[in-house]
Amino acid sequence: MADCIFCKIAAGELPADVIHQDADLLAFRDLNPQAPVHVLVIPRTHWSGLDAVPADAEATLGRLLAVCRTLAVRLGLSAGYRVVVNSGADGGQTVGHLHLHLLGGRGMTWPPG
């Protein structure tokens, strides 16, 4: 999508601190980190959010989670971490391209705000 910042990052048209990329996915550090480790994991395909992923692409959802798990090991989050998907207005989603937040490096609280 031409006006999507995450599509531009995936295409290399906007700078980002990319820590993983493969044919389907990209992971980069959040610009406004909410924890010592705050990484966003996105599909290269533009889906506006979780609800927009078609049934025949659901395997990508598993891959997104698997990359979070691999990165958590690589980033030393042995004490634990949190994976968050904000979905829609009530979910607090601000960027309309599906992304998973991988947060770690501090104790998390519950419930989230």
Report the residue from 32, 107, 110, 111 that binds ligand AMP according to the rule CB under 6 A: 32
Closer by beta carbon to ligand AMP, 16 or else 72: 16
- Active-site residue 99, yes or no? yes
**Which is nearer to ligand AMP, 19 or 24 (by Cβ)?**
19
Distance in Å from the first CA to the final CA of the chain: 30
Nearer to ligand AMP, 5 or 19 (CB): 5
List the one residue from 12, 76, 88, 92 that touches ligand AMP (CB under 6 A): 92
Confirm or reject binding of residue 3 to ligand AMP (CB under 6 A). no
CB 46 within 8 A of CB 4: yes
Contact 47, 13 (CB under 8 A): no
- Report phi then psi at 101, rounded to 5: -95, 125
Let me know the angle formed at the C-alpha of 38 by 55 and 66, rounded to the nearest 5 degrees: 40
Site membership for ligand AMP, residue 41 (CB under 6 A): no
DSSP code, position 17:
-
Q: Where are the alpha helices (DSSP H) in the chain?
A: 5-10, 58-74, 88-91
Among the listed residues 4, 18, 21, 30, the single contact to ligand AMP using CB under 6 A: 30
- Residue numbers at the binding site for ligand AMP (CB under 6 A): 5, 16, 30-32, 40, 86, 92-95
